[in-house]
Amino acid sequence: VETWHLVGREADFELELVEEVAVGGGTVAVHPTPAGFFATSAICTHEEARLYDGLLEGVEIQCPRHLARFDVRDGRPLCAPAEIPLRTYPCKVIDGEVWVWAPDQPSS
Ligand code: FES
């Protein structure tokens, strides 16, 4: 089942600080960027490092393990060693609340 999940208040996120949040029994990574909020898989497609320890710069997340970078808007990998895009999830802010459209168990 896919639905909108409330993942937090906009004011509680820090710009360019990626956070892993619980969604429907799984997790997603929420990226507060200068271009708005985006949500992706919480786990790198290369060797499954968790992205919340990564460096978010603009709309690019850098994996903490082998430093692959992804565009968080569409998940596409921007450099080696990653080749597979991150899954992305629709994300919206309404009245200061951040919502992510995702299935239950999104990272599993
Ligand atoms: S696990 Fe992310 S780049 Fe290797």
Q: What is the pLDDT of residues 23-47, one digit of tens each?
A: 988 999 999 999 999 999 999 999 9
Q: Kindly give, in sequence order, each residue whose CB lies less than 8 Å from that of residue 12, ignoring residues fewer than 6 positions away.
A: none
pTM of the model: 0.95
Sign of CA dihedral 88, 75, 12, 94: negative
Predicted confidence at residue 105, as pLDDT, reads 73
CA distance 101 to 56: 21
- Taking the centre of ligand 1 as the mean of its atom positions, its distance from the CA of residue 37, in whole angstroms, is 22
Predicted confidence at residue 107, as pLDDT, reads 65
Predicted confidence at residue 108, as pLDDT, reads 46
Whether residue 59 has pLDDT greater than 50? yes
Q: Using a 6 Å CB cutoff, which residues line ligand 1?
A: 44, 46-47, 49, 63, 65-66, 68, 81-82
Predicted confidence at residue 15, as pLDDT, reads 98
- Taking the centre of ligand 1 as the mean of its atom positions, its distance from the CA of residue 7, in whole angstroms, is 25
With tokens 């999830």, the residue in question is 89
Question: What SS3 class is residue 41?
Answer: strand
The Cβ of residue 105 has, within 10 Å, a number of other Cβ atoms equal to 11
The Cβ of residue 37 has, within 10 Å, a number of other Cβ atoms equal to 19
CA distance 68 to 56: 12
Closest atom of ligand 1 to CA, residue 47? 1
Q: Which two tokens stand for residue 11?
A: 């004011």
- Taking the centre of ligand 1 as the mean of its atom positions, its distance from the CA of residue 89, in whole angstroms, is 20
